[in-house]
Structure 1
Amino acid sequence: MPTTRPAPGDNPYRIHLAGSATCLGLDSAYRVILDEFVEDRASQKWFIQFDDSTDTFTTRNASGNQRLVVTSDGSMIGSLAEKATVWFITVHTGPFSYSTISKNGSTTDHVIDTADGTAHLLQAISPEPAPRQRYIFEPATATDPAPVSCTNPKNATKFERTFFNLTVDKAKAMGPYDIIVVGTGIGGGVLARDLYETNSRLGDKAKSILVIEKGGLVFHSHCLNTSRPEGLGNNRGQQNDTFFAVFKEDYNIELQDSTEPLVHPSTWKGGPMHCVGGRSAAWGLFAPRVHDKTLNAWFPETVERDLIDIYFEEAEKLFNLSLPATRIIHQQVMERLNITAKDAFHVHWQWGRIASEFKDSKNFDFAEGAYSTIDKLLEIMMSKPPIASDPKSNVRDEHKNFKMLIGTEVRKILLDDTTKVATGVVVRPANGGAEEMIELKKGGTVILAAGSVASPAILLRSGVELGKEAGHITDHDILYRALSFRYRSPGDREDVGAMKLQTYFDMDFEGRFGLANMSIDASSFLPRSKTADKNLPQMIMAFILPCALESSCSITLEGDEPKVVMIRTQEYSEGERQKYLKRMEDITKSAIETIESQLDVELVNEKDRDGEYLSYLELGGVAHELGTLPMPNRKGDGGNSIDENLKLKGHDNVYICDLSIFPMSPEANPTLTLAALSLRLSRQLVPREKFPPSGAETIRVVNHSGEPIKVWVSNFGSDMAPLEIDPTVLLEGDDFSVERQSGVPQSVMVFRMDKLKKAKNGEEKVEKVEKVEEKAENEEEKVKNKEKEEREKREKRKKDVIFSNEPELFVASPGCHKPVIVL
């Protein structure tokens, strides 16, 4: 037993045998095993609930909150369905003191046996502590940050406590809400950002929004905008996959393989990232559009039209889509690649579309770098107003209509038994704890953006019958070839630099198009080729292929947690596969020949390779698993879980907005398409209303600035009219109109104010200006009256001839018939 008792609380512990590095953990089947400790493996960390009054404790696993249970046959497992086994601590005294444990009040001490690789609880043979009965409980927080808890913010970092200080209790008290968004990845994060910006234009018409994220603030931006481990810079390019591999978590997944050579033995590389921003914190930044032919063949017609006409471009602007600087050599390479390719390939090589701003647009502006949803969400939280009772305090109040709760897991949606309308969500701390309810307003909306596994799991826990059309999690096939090369003139390497190119290509199968990626001397998500010299530059060709959702894949609940069964797509027959493999091999060979000649390079060890020309990437290699709650498929097969507006079938106020929604697995990275669909959903839920055109004689002002403004309309209709119509204060979302006088030139003047206090100051300034102008007008009127009096006097004098005492000009009034004489 522990040398010191584990302290109660939310901090995880490692449990290992004394004098051994092996630790208790869970395998993928939730069996307890003893294994070498791995630093970032959550399944080897345990939360201890200790009862000091009874000298007992229970244990639950940090990876999925599974309770440590001993079954009737002595097996040790992690379970969400069964009650946790209660362990009793007994202190022994004698020549030496020690503690032992017993199960559920038994008087017999026990040891853990792992002879067959899994853990069993056996009766101790010796009265003295057996070697496998001396357990050490070490706080995992010594090297790992404590998990964020929405009910215990003190566990969070000071940064989190300052800007993400909302707790479940506070969120409940501030509710109910018009909109609850679950998840902050590309789907939920883009949606939340757009709703916030729309809200800022609506004033009193704004919707109350709550965003809930299971994870904490791991990154402050995309991982590539932060510091990176030393040595990665020696390999040109991104290396975002290094961070993804460290911070992702694992599904409870069962991988199934088909017969060779269609599917090679696979390992799983995907998984969720539970943090603010989700997987947008470490995605690869390639942002191509789904090909028009793919949209036309698979996606609903209205979705296809909206994406092409509006939302692809909107998403690209949001992503700060950039193209690298093109030198002459780059242009020559792309031209020759396109000219030398066969017409049947239908290729058009160009720079890869990267979601990053590489350069500042003008002096003293900073490039925004790689895109993630974190930046805007963090900006919103950092701009929260100070608390009214203490404006100088660092503690921030919540935005009136936008709140964000982190470290909180949504377990289920509360649904009315009769109407199936969502009335709220059930949440708990991400590291386990009591479940609580957060209410939704009548007529409100819940948007699940928790990911392609977590979103269907939430619905299943909520009692939603998903049907046979759901759960078909699919990852498209990616095939690649990696080659090492060297420049014949070493200095050319710096001149050329890194290149990442992309093109669609004709698969030579049913008119389908795939996407080809070429990486030249730049990092890639794909494995590097094996060469003796790791410093050699690499050329990597990768092909992403579209496919239907794979019906053999499934998501079910096992102990209230999702279990994933996955297999590679079986859509293509062996003959069809060989056909498009030949096409991709021909494209690769054509590209290699062009690169060799244009860049004057030679390949290394290429002739020594054997086996198939292209290799398969592991499942989940680029984290594109999708399609578990699909929208309608234009082909009419497979069924759908949501409609074309992403609303869950049979539920009027539940929407899905993550990779679950895809009706097929496209040839492109799905991130841009998901962001575009997220923007589309946002504008449908809270429209950015455009006022109808006014008549030619109407002046209309609508305040979409997000701040109070004051409006004046000038009026030059007549000399006697006031110069301006009385000023009008417009709050966010307000509008103002006035009828013009025909043929009279007028203008609109707007004074922008950050706060109503400024508006008040503005009114005082206006009043002062008006008083000054009124005084000036009075003075001007006095001058005019005086001048009028002088004119009248002069006119009167002109009626008669006036002689002076001195010889001078004789003046007669107009119409005078007397002679004009000059003396």
Structure 2
Amino acid sequence: MFTLRFATADYRPDRQITLRTNLDNWAKDIPGLYENGAWRFELPIARYGGGFTFKFVLERTYWQNGPDLFLQPVSGGDYLYQAPAVTFPPMTEVVVENTNLQQEFFPPNLNENRLYDVIVVGSGIGGGILADQLSDLGLDVLVLEAGSYLFPTHTANLPRQHRVGQFDKHVWNLYERFKVQNFANGFGSAFDGGQAFNLGGKSLFWGGLIPRMAWWELDRWPRSLRWFLEGGGYQQAEDLMNRVPLPPTPYRRRVKQFLRQNLAEFTAFDAPMAVQYSNPQDLSTVPTGMFSTADLLTESMLTNGPQGNQHLFINLNHPVSRVETQGNRVTRVVAYDLIAQQERSYQAKAVVLAAGTVESAKIAQLSGLADPTNKIGVGITDHPIYFTHFALPVTADLYDPNSTSKVLLQPNDGKARPYNVVLEFGADFNQGRYVDLDLLDRHRRQKGNLMLCEIVFLMDAPLIEANTVQQVGPAYVKPVVQMQPSPLGGQYYGEMSAIKDQLIAALGGQPLVNNDLSLKGAGLGGVAHEVGSLRMSGETDDGQSLNDGVVDTNLKFLAYDNLYACDLSVFPSSPAANPTLTLAALAIRLAEHLKEVV
């Protein structure tokens, strides 16, 4: 025998290191034992004594950087390797964890013979709300989530990652650290999105703004859905997502009065947020903070009873590779158990793809689904978004270092101005909390006599037919996204820039240090608003037929009786309004529909 060791403090047993060699055709993972700060591999000299080439492998996925290593060992030899001779590329795949909390809170149900009422693929806004609603209605639901238990709540409810003295959108900081880019850009494509593979999906990281779509945004939507949203669907979603209006303050009234005087072509109101600021029943219970489906599902799983865990099952670390069909029905959902490292299949009366705009289209293509309109994966679009940061000095009329205001401005005629405006005053305070007041004092001192502000323009845009998601190869191959920006951004950029200049001048604003006041374009997919890869069909309010969809107005695939989609992929346009509230309303509606048909 001889010993081969890899000394490392970075890759301890929570990150597995294995060994692969040319003698096994590079296909076999040889396990090691971590002790005394190193992975130790005991190998037989009879097999390896003639010399061999090898590499260390991280998580059975990431091969060490650089050329293969060669060793011709002697019996009893002890060979040590360490950084910088051994390094690994950054991890970009789904992080697999099975912590004690995950095992306690989310024990998987691995019974492949059980017939569920509904299987939901994905636990984000669409899938998480749908699964919770269905289980509350008494249906047995299995959620298959590719990721692990990451955070128990929205990141805005966690201790804050501060950048003291700087403008900081705290909510999005952690998304950049935990997102996975499970796609490849095609030639010339500009998509810069990502996926959140974890319980709750992107609902852990999103910004909490939940505006309703205006009448002009709904013009490209099927009539029946427009009637549902305007006739009570939005109200149901707002109630579910804890929308509690901000209490009126003199400062917020001053802001809205200023906007009515200086921007009369828009209607200004306090931005609707998925945040419960206080308990409306005055029961002295702790407010829930910013909404996420991780909170929603965790609470249900921890609570015994019919409105808790009696009908709800959640299998984490289960990325779905395909659905199997027979005729016009889905018979099984095939997933890969990343903990046991084996394929499993589950069955249900109905199946819902809620894995996101890219992932749901990928699963549909991997499954070889019938596509009567040839639109699966076609039309993925992100609306143009432009923004700039600025500051109000102490001399400005609306300067107030102890107040904040977030305002949504909607055009009175969106057909002429197809964009919303979000204006934030004191924008460094409304995206999270300060626990240590010493940090708050330090932040106020370092930013000086300035009130940090932001202005954002979000456009309404039709789907772009040339944009696609294409899956070429098996499940482990990343789908190729071909995505270009909407031309509407260039068409209206000058007009939006003029409004920005008008507002900042009237406010007495000034640039931040090392910044200018020009409008910058957000990257495509940068704020997770991409839609349209499994668009819905139907008939619009003016009688225009949307006959090129993948799903109908009940979100059911046109070619199948028991297969549905419930994520942003079903949107027939990319609205100016942030899409989360609309998706939540669609999930509530789909739950009621499935209760009747399953």
TM-score by length of 2: 0.79
Verify: 1:645 aligned to 2:551, yes or no.
no
User: What SS does the corresponding residue of 1:603 show, helix, strand or coil?
Assistant: coil
Relative to structure 1, the CA distance from residue 486 to residue 3 in structure 2 (aligned partners, 3 Å threshold; closer, same or farther) is: farther
Task: State the one-letter code of the partner of 1:482.
Answer: H
Aligned match of 2:337: 429
* Equivalent of residue 276 in structure 2, options 336, 341, 357: 357
Give the AA of the match of 2:317: G
User: How far apart, in 2, do the equivalents of 1:353 and 1:3 lie?
Assistant: 62
Deviation at 1:332, TM superposition (A): 1.9
The 1:490–1:331 alpha-carbon spacing in structure 2 relative to 1, beyond 3 Å, is closer
Deviation at 1:505, TM superposition (A): 2.3
Structure 1 residues 577, 636: closer, same or farther in 2, change over 3 A? farther
CA distance, structure 1, for counterparts of residue 181 and residue 143 of structure 2:
24
Cα distance, 1:336 vs. partner?
A: 2.0
Aligned mates of 1:605, 1:164 — CA distance in 2:
46
- Distance, in Å, in 2 between the alignment partners of 1:632 and 1:55 is 50
Report if aligned partners of 2:392, 2:507 keep a CA contact under 8 Å in 1.
no
1:187-223, CA deviations, whole angstroms, 9 ceiling, x for partnerless residues?
0111111112221xxxxxxx32212211121111111
- Shift in Å, 1:381: 1.1
- The whole-number CA distance in structure 2 between the counterparts of 1:120 and 1:179 is 47
- Partners of 1:360 and 1:506 in 2: CA distance: 33
Please state how far the C-alpha of 1:414 moved relative to its aligned partner.
1.4
| CA separation of 1:355 and 1:256: change in aligned 2, threshold 3 A | farther
What amino acid is aligned across from residue 582 of structure 2 in structure 1?
A: T
Shift of the alpha carbon at 1:247?
Answer: 1.3
Could you say if the C-alpha distance between residues 139 and 276 of structure 1 is closer, same or farther in structure 2, counting changes exceeding 3 Å?
Answer: farther
Structure 2: which amino acid aligns with 1:464? L
CA offset digits 1:738-789 (Å, max 9, x no partner): xxxxxxxxxxxxxxxxxxxxxxxxxxxxxxxxxxxxxxxxxxxxxxxxxxxx
1:678 matched residue in structure 2 = 587
Distance in 2, Cα, partners of 1:213 & 1:606 = 43
RMSD: 4.3
Q: 1:233–1:289: structure 2 CA closer, same or farther, 3 Å change rule?
A: farther
- Listed one character per residue, the Cα deviations across residues 483-527 of structure 1 (whole Å, up to 9, x for unaligned) are 2332138995334x122111112688x5453111112221499xx
Supply the AA of the counterpart residue of 1:672. L
Q: How far apart are residue 246 of structure 1 and its match?
A: 1.2
In the alignment, which residue of structure 1 is the partner of 2:289?
A: 369
**One-letter amino acid of the structure 1 residue matched with residue 112 of structure 2:** K
Letter matched to residue 494 of structure 2 = K
Give the alignment of 1:742-753 within 5 angstroms: none
Q: CA deviation at 1:287?
A: 0.3
Equivalent residue letter for 2:365: L
**For the structure 1 residues 271 and 609, does the alpha-carbon distance in structure 2 shift closer, same or farther, using more than 3 Å as the test?**
closer
Change (3 A) 1:166 1:338: same
SS in 2 for 1:325: coil
* Percent of paired sites with the same residue: 25
The 1:236–1:617 alpha-carbon spacing in structure 2 relative to 1, beyond 3 Å, is: closer
TM-superposed deviation, 1:228: 2.4
Alignment of 1:720-759 (within 5 A): none
> Which residue of 179, 183, 187 maps to 1:252?
183
Equivalent position of 2:33 in the other structure:
none
Q: Secondary structure at the match of 1:292?
A: coil
> Which of 81, 98, 104 is the aligned partner of 1:162?
104
Aligned to 1:587: 499
| Aligned-pair CA distance for 1:436 | 1.8
Q: Is the 8 A contact 1:285 1:356 kept in 2?
A: yes
> What is aligned with 2:77?
none
**Using a 3 Å threshold, how does the CA distance of structure 1 residues 451 and 55 change in structure 2: closer, same or farther?**
closer
* 2:243 alignment counterpart: 321
Post-superposition offset of 1:587 = 2.1
**Offset at residue 637 of structure 1 (A):** 6.5
Contact 1:255 1:565 in 2 (8 A): yes
Distance 1:538 1:483, change over 3 A: same
Deviations 1:232-272 (A, max 9, x none): 576688511011111111122216658xxxxxxx672x211
Deviation at 1:671, TM superposition (A): 0.4
| 2:536–2:550 CA contact under 8 A, matched in 1 | yes
* 1:161 aligned counterpart, secondary structure: helix
Shift of 1:358: 1.3
Instruction: Report if aligned partners of 1:89, 1:102 keep a CA contact under 8 Å in 2.
Output: no
Kindly tell me the number of residue pairs found equivalent between the two proteins.
542
| Residue in structure 1 matched with residue 394 of structure 2 by the alignment | 487
Classify 1:227/1:608 alpha carbon distance in 2 versus 1 (closer, same or farther; 3 Å): closer
Instruction: Name the amino acid aligned to 2:351.
Output: V
How far apart are 1:317 and its partner, in Å? 0.6
Counterpart residue identity of residue 278, structure 2: K
Which residue does the alignment assign to 1:784? none
Match of 2:52 among 84, 98, 101: 101
Find the residue that maps to 1:310 and give its secondary structure. helix
Provide closer, same or farther for how the CA distance between residues 420 and 501 of structure 1 changes in structure 2, counting only shifts above 3 A: same
- Is 1:381 matched with 2:301? yes
- The amino acid across from 1:247 in the alignment is F
- 1:596-641 CA-to-partner distances (Å, cap 9, x unmatched) read 3xxxxx524799958xx42211122211111110002645578211
Q: Distance in 2 between matches of 1:369 and 1:54?
A: 53
How far has the Cα of 1:474 moved from its partner? 1.3
Q: 1:559 offset after TM fit, Å?
A: 3.3
Structure 2 CA distance, aligned partners of 1:101 and 1:314?
A: 65
CA–CA distance in 2 between the matches of 1:583 and 1:506? 16
Q: Mapping of 1:146-161 within 5 angstroms? A: 148=96, 156-161=98-103
Q: Find the aligned partners of 1:267 and 1:648 in 2 and give their Cα distance.
A: 26
Larger radius of gyration: 1
| Distance in 2 between residues matched to 1:327 and 1:607, nearest whole Å | 33
Find the counterpart in structure 1 of residue 441 from structure 2. none
1 CA distance for matches of 2:333 and 2:231?
Answer: 35
Tell me, what secondary structure is at the counterpart of 1:642? coil
**CA separation in 2, counterparts of 1:119 and 1:246?**
22
Evaluate the alpha carbon distance shift between residue 639 and residue 101 of structure 1 in structure 2; reply closer, same or farther with a 3 A threshold. farther
Matched, 1:458 2:366: no
Deviations 1:107-152 (A, max 9, x none): xx99xxxxxxx9786897x9799xxx96779999xx99x955xxxx
Asked if the contact 1:475/1:569 (under 8 Å) is kept, the reply is yes
Query: SS at 2:351's partner residue?
Result: strand
Name 2:38's counterpart in structure 1. Answer: none
2-structure distance, mates of 1:615, 1:404: 41
Q: Give the corresponding residue for 1:705.
A: none
SS at match of 2:400: helix
2:217 and 2:4 map into 1 onto residues whose CA distance is: 62
Distance of aligned partners of 1:620 and 1:379 in 2 relative to their CA distance in 1, 3 Å threshold: same
- Where structure 2 has 5 or more consecutive residues not aligned to the other structure, the ranges are 31-41, 57-63, 75-79, 432-445
